[in-house]
Amino acid sequence: IRERKPSMGTNSKQLLKNKKMIIEKMKYIAESSPSDINKNLLNAYHGDVEWRGFYPLEDLKGLEALEIKVWRPLLQAFPDLERRNNIVIGGEFNNKYFVGTVGHLTGTFKNSWLDVPATNKTVHLRTCEFHQIENEKIIQTHMLIDVMDFIRQAGFWPINKSLGVEEMWPGPITGDGIVLEEQDPTLSKKTLEQALAMQKTLGDYKPETTANISDEKLRKELLNHPQKEYWHFKMMWYGPCGIGTARGLSGFVDHHQMPFRKTFRDRDYWTIGHYVEIGDGKYSATSGWHSIVSKHGSKEWLGYQPTGNSITMKVMDFYLHDEGLIRENWVPIDIMHILKQLNVDVLKIIREQ
Protein backbone atom coordinates (compact mmCIF):
# COMPACT_ATOMS: atom_id res chain seq x y z
CA ILE A 1 0.00 0.00 0.00
CA ARG A 2 1.39 3.35 -0.96
CA GLU A 3 2.51 5.66 1.82
CA ARG A 4 -0.09 8.32 2.51
CA LYS A 5 0.64 11.92 3.41
CA PRO A 6 -0.26 13.06 6.95
CA SER A 7 -4.02 13.38 7.36
CA MET A 8 -5.71 16.66 8.21
CA GLY A 9 -7.85 14.67 10.66
CA THR A 10 -11.34 13.51 9.86
CA ASN A 11 -13.89 16.28 10.36
CA SER A 12 -17.12 14.28 10.21
CA LYS A 13 -19.35 17.35 10.25
CA GLN A 14 -17.48 18.84 7.30
CA LEU A 15 -17.66 15.55 5.38
CA LEU A 16 -21.41 15.40 5.95
CA LYS A 17 -21.78 19.01 4.82
CA ASN A 18 -19.76 18.27 1.67
CA LYS A 19 -21.96 15.29 0.75
CA LYS A 20 -25.18 17.25 1.21
CA MET A 21 -23.74 20.08 -0.89
CA ILE A 22 -22.84 17.73 -3.76
CA ILE A 23 -26.29 16.10 -3.72
CA GLU A 24 -28.03 19.48 -3.86
CA LYS A 25 -25.81 21.32 -6.32
CA MET A 26 -25.33 18.45 -8.78
CA LYS A 27 -29.11 17.93 -8.81
CA TYR A 28 -29.61 21.58 -9.76
CA ILE A 29 -27.01 21.28 -12.53
CA ALA A 30 -28.55 18.10 -13.98
CA GLU A 31 -32.03 19.63 -13.96
CA SER A 32 -30.98 23.04 -15.31
CA SER A 33 -32.82 24.88 -18.03
CA PRO A 34 -30.73 26.50 -20.80
CA SER A 35 -31.20 29.86 -19.05
CA ASP A 36 -29.94 28.84 -15.61
CA ILE A 37 -27.18 26.32 -16.32
CA ASN A 38 -24.51 29.02 -16.06
CA LYS A 39 -25.80 30.19 -12.69
CA ASN A 40 -26.01 26.65 -11.33
CA LEU A 41 -22.47 25.82 -12.44
CA LEU A 42 -21.16 29.04 -10.91
CA ASN A 43 -22.90 28.17 -7.66
CA ALA A 44 -21.21 24.75 -7.50
CA TYR A 45 -17.72 25.25 -8.96
CA HIS A 46 -14.69 27.45 -8.54
CA GLY A 47 -14.17 29.58 -11.65
CA ASP A 48 -10.89 27.84 -12.55
CA VAL A 49 -12.20 24.33 -11.90
CA GLU A 50 -10.31 21.40 -13.41
CA TRP A 51 -12.69 18.83 -14.93
CA ARG A 52 -11.20 15.47 -15.85
CA GLY A 53 -13.54 13.39 -17.93
CA PHE A 54 -14.34 10.55 -20.26
CA TYR A 55 -13.54 9.99 -23.92
CA PRO A 56 -14.20 11.84 -26.19
CA LEU A 57 -14.39 14.91 -23.91
CA GLU A 58 -11.17 14.26 -21.94
CA ASP A 59 -9.91 17.09 -19.68
CA LEU A 60 -11.25 20.65 -19.45
CA LYS A 61 -10.34 23.78 -17.53
CA GLY A 62 -12.71 26.50 -16.34
CA LEU A 63 -16.46 27.01 -16.09
CA GLU A 64 -16.99 28.12 -19.68
CA ALA A 65 -15.50 24.91 -21.09
CA LEU A 66 -17.51 22.83 -18.61
CA GLU A 67 -20.73 24.54 -19.66
CA ILE A 68 -20.15 24.45 -23.42
CA LYS A 69 -18.49 21.04 -23.76
CA VAL A 70 -20.30 18.98 -21.12
CA TRP A 71 -23.57 20.33 -19.80
CA ARG A 72 -25.21 22.24 -22.66
CA PRO A 73 -24.92 19.27 -25.06
CA LEU A 74 -26.26 16.91 -22.37
CA LEU A 75 -29.22 19.15 -21.55
CA GLN A 76 -30.02 19.61 -25.21
CA ALA A 77 -29.91 15.84 -25.83
CA PHE A 78 -31.92 15.03 -22.67
CA PRO A 79 -34.23 18.00 -21.96
CA ASP A 80 -35.91 16.24 -19.00
CA LEU A 81 -32.65 15.10 -17.41
CA GLU A 82 -32.61 14.15 -13.73
CA ARG A 83 -30.00 12.82 -11.35
CA ARG A 84 -30.42 9.54 -9.45
CA ASN A 85 -27.82 8.71 -6.80
CA ASN A 86 -27.13 5.16 -5.61
CA ILE A 87 -23.95 5.88 -3.64
CA VAL A 88 -22.75 9.14 -2.07
CA ILE A 89 -19.74 8.90 0.24
CA GLY A 90 -17.06 11.29 1.44
CA GLY A 91 -13.63 11.42 3.02
CA GLU A 92 -10.27 13.11 3.04
CA PHE A 93 -7.05 12.06 1.37
CA ASN A 94 -3.70 13.86 1.32
CA ASN A 95 -5.18 16.96 2.97
CA LYS A 96 -8.02 17.22 0.45
CA TYR A 97 -11.75 16.67 0.92
CA PHE A 98 -13.58 14.42 -1.57
CA VAL A 99 -17.12 13.27 -2.30
CA GLY A 100 -17.60 10.17 -4.47
CA THR A 101 -20.85 9.24 -6.21
CA VAL A 102 -22.30 6.37 -8.25
CA GLY A 103 -25.64 6.76 -10.01
CA HIS A 104 -27.38 7.72 -13.23
CA LEU A 105 -28.36 10.75 -15.23
CA THR A 106 -31.75 9.71 -16.57
CA GLY A 107 -33.73 11.35 -19.36
CA THR A 108 -35.50 10.99 -22.68
CA PHE A 109 -33.01 10.90 -25.55
CA LYS A 110 -34.59 13.64 -27.69
CA ASN A 111 -31.61 15.00 -29.64
CA SER A 112 -28.30 13.47 -30.74
CA TRP A 113 -25.37 13.37 -28.33
CA LEU A 114 -21.78 12.60 -29.39
CA ASP A 115 -23.16 12.06 -32.93
CA VAL A 116 -25.31 9.14 -31.71
CA PRO A 117 -28.82 9.58 -33.18
CA ALA A 118 -31.70 10.19 -30.78
CA THR A 119 -34.19 7.41 -29.96
CA ASN A 120 -36.92 9.35 -28.11
CA LYS A 121 -36.62 6.66 -25.44
CA THR A 122 -35.43 6.66 -21.85
CA VAL A 123 -31.68 6.41 -21.29
CA HIS A 124 -29.88 5.92 -17.96
CA LEU A 125 -26.39 7.42 -18.27
CA ARG A 126 -24.23 5.51 -15.80
CA THR A 127 -22.31 8.27 -14.04
CA CYS A 128 -19.53 8.03 -11.45
CA GLU A 129 -17.71 11.01 -9.96
CA PHE A 130 -15.15 12.23 -7.47
CA HIS A 131 -15.42 15.88 -6.48
CA GLN A 132 -12.68 17.68 -4.56
CA ILE A 133 -14.17 20.35 -2.28
CA GLU A 134 -12.34 23.51 -1.30
CA ASN A 135 -13.95 26.46 0.49
CA GLU A 136 -17.49 25.12 -0.05
CA LYS A 137 -17.07 24.73 -3.82
CA ILE A 138 -15.77 22.09 -6.22
CA ILE A 139 -12.20 22.76 -7.31
CA GLN A 140 -11.71 19.52 -9.28
CA THR A 141 -14.04 16.86 -10.70
CA HIS A 142 -13.27 13.44 -12.12
CA MET A 143 -16.33 12.20 -14.01
CA LEU A 144 -16.89 8.99 -15.95
CA ILE A 145 -20.08 8.58 -17.97
CA ASP A 146 -20.22 5.08 -19.43
CA VAL A 147 -20.51 6.17 -23.07
CA MET A 148 -20.32 2.57 -24.29
CA ASP A 149 -23.38 1.73 -22.18
CA PHE A 150 -25.16 4.81 -23.55
CA ILE A 151 -24.43 3.54 -27.08
CA ARG A 152 -25.80 0.11 -26.12
CA GLN A 153 -29.04 1.68 -24.84
CA ALA A 154 -29.30 3.70 -28.06
CA GLY A 155 -29.48 0.43 -30.01
CA PHE A 156 -25.88 0.02 -31.24
CA TRP A 157 -23.22 -2.59 -30.46
CA PRO A 158 -20.21 -1.66 -32.59
CA ILE A 159 -17.60 -3.65 -30.63
CA ASN A 160 -16.84 -7.32 -30.01
CA LYS A 161 -18.95 -9.27 -27.53
CA SER A 162 -18.32 -8.73 -23.83
CA LEU A 163 -17.97 -11.71 -21.47
CA GLY A 164 -20.04 -10.46 -18.53
CA VAL A 165 -23.72 -9.52 -18.32
CA GLU A 166 -24.62 -6.08 -19.69
CA GLU A 167 -27.17 -4.48 -17.39
CA MET A 168 -28.15 -1.41 -15.41
CA TRP A 169 -26.06 -1.39 -12.22
CA PRO A 170 -28.14 -1.90 -9.08
CA GLY A 171 -27.58 0.06 -5.89
CA PRO A 172 -26.05 -1.57 -2.79
CA ILE A 173 -27.77 -4.68 -1.48
CA THR A 174 -27.89 -3.05 1.97
CA GLY A 175 -29.88 -0.08 0.62
CA ASP A 176 -27.77 2.48 2.49
CA GLY A 177 -25.41 3.82 -0.17
CA ILE A 178 -26.26 7.51 0.38
CA VAL A 179 -24.32 8.02 3.60
CA LEU A 180 -25.81 11.05 5.33
CA GLU A 181 -25.09 10.17 8.94
CA GLU A 182 -21.80 10.60 10.78
CA GLN A 183 -19.80 7.37 10.65
CA ASP A 184 -17.47 5.73 13.14
CA PRO A 185 -13.98 6.81 11.95
CA THR A 186 -12.55 3.49 13.13
CA LEU A 187 -14.93 1.61 10.83
CA SER A 188 -14.19 3.97 7.93
CA LYS A 189 -10.46 3.40 8.38
CA LYS A 190 -10.94 -0.37 8.59
CA THR A 191 -12.97 -0.61 5.38
CA LEU A 192 -10.49 1.47 3.41
CA GLU A 193 -7.58 -0.60 4.70
CA GLN A 194 -9.39 -3.77 3.65
CA ALA A 195 -9.88 -2.46 0.10
CA LEU A 196 -6.27 -1.31 -0.16
CA ALA A 197 -4.97 -4.62 1.16
CA MET A 198 -7.02 -6.52 -1.43
CA GLN A 199 -5.76 -4.22 -4.18
CA LYS A 200 -2.20 -4.78 -3.04
CA THR A 201 -2.56 -8.55 -3.44
CA LEU A 202 -3.60 -7.99 -7.05
CA GLY A 203 -0.74 -5.60 -7.71
CA ASP A 204 1.78 -7.99 -6.16
CA TYR A 205 0.61 -10.98 -8.22
CA LYS A 206 2.90 -11.51 -11.19
CA PRO A 207 2.61 -14.98 -12.78
CA GLU A 208 5.58 -16.41 -14.65
CA THR A 209 4.37 -14.70 -17.88
CA THR A 210 0.77 -14.52 -18.98
CA ALA A 211 1.97 -15.08 -22.55
CA ASN A 212 2.97 -18.66 -21.77
CA ILE A 213 0.83 -19.72 -18.82
CA SER A 214 -2.13 -21.95 -19.68
CA ASP A 215 -5.67 -20.77 -19.07
CA GLU A 216 -6.21 -23.66 -16.67
CA LYS A 217 -3.16 -22.82 -14.57
CA LEU A 218 -3.85 -19.06 -14.55
CA ARG A 219 -7.47 -19.63 -13.56
CA LYS A 220 -6.43 -21.94 -10.73
CA GLU A 221 -3.87 -19.42 -9.48
CA LEU A 222 -6.39 -16.57 -9.53
CA LEU A 223 -9.06 -18.61 -7.71
CA ASN A 224 -6.53 -19.56 -5.02
CA HIS A 225 -4.88 -16.14 -4.95
CA PRO A 226 -4.82 -14.20 -1.62
CA GLN A 227 -7.62 -12.01 -2.99
CA LYS A 228 -10.06 -14.79 -2.00
CA GLU A 229 -9.61 -13.85 1.66
CA TYR A 230 -11.23 -10.46 1.00
CA TRP A 231 -14.22 -11.23 -1.25
CA HIS A 232 -17.64 -12.29 0.03
CA PHE A 233 -18.77 -15.64 -1.45
CA LYS A 234 -21.78 -13.84 -2.94
CA MET A 235 -19.68 -10.96 -4.25
CA MET A 236 -20.94 -8.87 -7.14
CA TRP A 237 -18.48 -7.17 -9.48
CA TYR A 238 -20.12 -4.50 -11.64
CA GLY A 239 -17.90 -3.70 -14.61
CA PRO A 240 -18.32 -1.10 -17.34
CA CYS A 241 -20.10 -1.82 -20.60
CA GLY A 242 -17.72 -3.92 -22.67
CA ILE A 243 -16.83 -6.06 -19.64
CA GLY A 244 -20.15 -6.42 -17.83
CA THR A 245 -21.27 -7.78 -14.47
CA ALA A 246 -19.82 -10.91 -12.80
CA ARG A 247 -20.95 -12.82 -9.70
CA GLY A 248 -18.71 -14.67 -7.28
CA LEU A 249 -14.94 -15.02 -7.47
CA SER A 250 -15.20 -17.58 -10.28
CA GLY A 251 -17.35 -15.21 -12.37
CA PHE A 252 -14.92 -12.36 -11.65
CA VAL A 253 -11.96 -14.49 -12.74
CA ASP A 254 -13.66 -15.90 -15.87
CA HIS A 255 -15.37 -12.76 -17.13
CA HIS A 256 -12.76 -10.15 -16.26
CA GLN A 257 -9.55 -11.00 -14.44
CA MET A 258 -8.19 -13.80 -16.63
CA PRO A 259 -8.80 -12.24 -20.06
CA PHE A 260 -7.69 -8.85 -18.72
CA ARG A 261 -4.42 -10.20 -17.33
CA LYS A 262 -3.63 -12.20 -20.45
CA THR A 263 -4.28 -9.22 -22.74
CA PHE A 264 -2.82 -6.28 -20.78
CA ARG A 265 0.74 -7.24 -19.92
CA ASP A 266 3.63 -5.62 -18.07
CA ARG A 267 1.09 -3.79 -15.93
CA ASP A 268 2.15 -1.16 -13.44
CA TYR A 269 -0.56 -0.10 -10.98
CA TRP A 270 1.56 2.41 -9.11
CA THR A 271 3.43 4.52 -11.66
CA ILE A 272 1.14 7.43 -10.89
CA GLY A 273 -0.88 6.09 -7.99
CA HIS A 274 -4.26 7.11 -6.61
CA TYR A 275 -5.48 10.69 -6.38
CA VAL A 276 -8.18 9.57 -3.93
CA GLU A 277 -8.58 6.86 -1.28
CA ILE A 278 -11.52 7.26 1.11
CA GLY A 279 -13.50 5.20 3.59
CA ASP A 280 -16.97 6.18 4.83
CA GLY A 281 -18.58 3.70 7.20
CA LYS A 282 -19.20 0.44 5.30
CA TYR A 283 -18.04 1.98 2.01
CA SER A 284 -14.67 2.75 0.51
CA ALA A 285 -13.48 4.08 -2.83
CA THR A 286 -10.25 4.67 -4.74
CA SER A 287 -9.31 6.03 -8.13
CA GLY A 288 -6.27 6.67 -10.26
CA TRP A 289 -5.93 8.87 -13.35
CA HIS A 290 -4.32 6.91 -14.81
CA SER A 291 -4.65 3.84 -12.58
CA ILE A 292 -2.88 1.33 -14.81
CA VAL A 293 -0.17 1.46 -17.45
CA SER A 294 0.20 -1.71 -19.55
CA LYS A 295 0.98 -3.18 -22.96
CA HIS A 296 -1.73 -4.57 -25.25
CA GLY A 297 -0.27 -8.01 -25.87
CA SER A 298 -3.03 -10.46 -26.90
CA LYS A 299 -6.69 -10.69 -27.91
CA GLU A 300 -8.37 -12.46 -24.96
CA TRP A 301 -9.97 -9.20 -23.75
CA LEU A 302 -12.69 -8.23 -26.27
CA GLY A 303 -11.00 -10.15 -29.06
CA TYR A 304 -9.00 -7.36 -30.74
CA GLN A 305 -5.69 -8.33 -32.32
CA PRO A 306 -2.71 -7.25 -30.17
CA THR A 307 -1.29 -3.86 -31.10
CA GLY A 308 1.71 -3.76 -28.77
CA ASN A 309 0.56 -0.26 -27.83
CA SER A 310 1.21 1.15 -24.38
CA ILE A 311 -2.22 1.61 -22.76
CA THR A 312 -3.33 3.83 -19.90
CA MET A 313 -6.62 3.37 -18.04
CA LYS A 314 -8.95 5.63 -16.07
CA VAL A 315 -10.43 3.49 -13.31
CA MET A 316 -12.59 4.08 -10.22
CA ASP A 317 -13.47 1.49 -7.56
CA PHE A 318 -16.38 1.78 -5.12
CA TYR A 319 -16.73 -0.96 -2.50
CA LEU A 320 -19.44 -2.12 -0.08
CA HIS A 321 -17.97 -3.97 2.91
CA ASP A 322 -20.57 -6.25 4.50
CA GLU A 323 -20.35 -9.24 6.85
CA GLY A 324 -16.64 -8.55 7.27
CA LEU A 325 -15.76 -8.86 3.57
CA ILE A 326 -16.02 -6.97 0.28
CA ARG A 327 -19.57 -7.71 -0.86
CA GLU A 328 -19.96 -5.47 -3.93
CA ASN A 329 -17.57 -3.60 -6.21
CA TRP A 330 -18.71 -0.98 -8.74
CA VAL A 331 -15.90 -0.40 -11.26
CA PRO A 332 -16.26 2.46 -13.75
CA ILE A 333 -13.55 2.27 -16.44
CA ASP A 334 -13.32 4.48 -19.52
CA ILE A 335 -13.65 1.66 -22.04
CA MET A 336 -13.97 4.07 -24.98
CA HIS A 337 -10.61 5.58 -23.99
CA ILE A 338 -9.00 2.12 -23.93
CA LEU A 339 -10.51 1.14 -27.28
CA LYS A 340 -9.27 4.37 -28.89
CA GLN A 341 -5.74 3.39 -27.82
CA LEU A 342 -6.30 0.04 -29.55
CA ASN A 343 -7.12 1.97 -32.75
CA VAL A 344 -10.85 1.23 -32.37
CA ASP A 345 -12.82 4.47 -32.76
CA VAL A 346 -16.34 3.48 -31.68
CA LEU A 347 -17.96 6.82 -32.48
CA LYS A 348 -16.45 6.79 -35.96
CA ILE A 349 -17.88 3.30 -36.53
CA ILE A 350 -21.34 4.55 -35.58
CA ARG A 351 -21.07 7.66 -37.78
CA GLU A 352 -20.15 5.48 -40.78
CA GLN A 353 -23.00 3.00 -40.35
pLDDT given for residue 296 in this prediction: 93
CA distance 180 to 60: 30
Q: Beta-strand (E) ranges in the chain?
A: 45-52, 59-61, 82-93, 96-108, 122-134, 137-145, 231-238, 245-247, 264-268, 274-280, 283-296, 310-322, 325-330
Put simply, whether the predicted model's pTM sits higher than 0.85 gets the answer: yes
- Rg (C-alpha) for the chain, rounded Å, is 20
Q: Supply the pLDDT for residue 210.
A: 59
Q: What H or E segment, with its residue span, contains residue 61?
A: strand 59-61
The SS3 of residue 221 is helix
> Is the confidence at residue 161, as pLDDT, over 50?
yes
pLDDT digits (tens, 9 = 90+) for 93-128: 999 999 999 999 999 999 999 999 999 999 999 999
Task: Assign 3 a pLDDT band (cuts: 50, 70, 90).
Answer: very low
Cα–chain center distance at 103: 10
d(CA 250, CA 252) in angstroms, rounded, equals: 5
Q: For position 271, what pLDDT does the model report?
A: 59
Task: State the DSSP code for 308.
Answer: -
| C-alpha torsion sign, points 28, 29, 33, 39 | positive
- Banded pLDDT at 211 (limits 50, 70, 90): low
Q: What are phi and psi of 296, to 5 degrees?
A: -80, 100
Q: Tens of pLDDT along 316-352?
A: 999 999 999 999 999 999 999 999 999 999 999 999 8
Question: What pLDDT is stored for residue 167 in this prediction?
Answer: 95
High-pLDDT (> 90) share of the chain, %: 86
What confidence score (pLDDT) does residue 266 get?
77
pLDDT reported for residue 6: 39
CA pair distance 190, 77, nearest whole angstrom: 43
The whole-angstrom distance between residue 232's C-alpha and the CA centroid of its chain comes to 21
Helix (H) or strand (E) holding 252: helix 248-252
Residue 117's alpha-carbon distances to 112, 260, 347, in angstroms, are 5, 32, 11
Residue 207 has pLDDT above 90, yes or no: no
Residue 7 has what pLDDT?
45
Residues 6+ apart with CB under 8 A from 167: 244, 245
Question: What integer best gives the mean pLDDT of the chain?
Answer: 93
Compute CA 212 distance to the chain's CA centroid, rounded to the nearest angstrom. 31
d(CA 136, CA 43): 10
pLDDT band of residue 12 (cuts 50, 70, 90) is confident
Is the separation of the CB atoms in 86 and 106 below 8 Å? no
pLDDT in tens, 25-52: 999 999 999 999 999 999 999 999 999 9
> Is residue 186 pLDDT above 70, yes or no?
yes
DSSP code at position 266? E
CB 212 within 8 A of CB 130: no
CB contact at 8 A, 237 and 329: yes
Beta bridge partners of 189: none
pLDDT band at residue 269 using 50, 70 and 90 as cut-offs = low
Length of the chain: 353
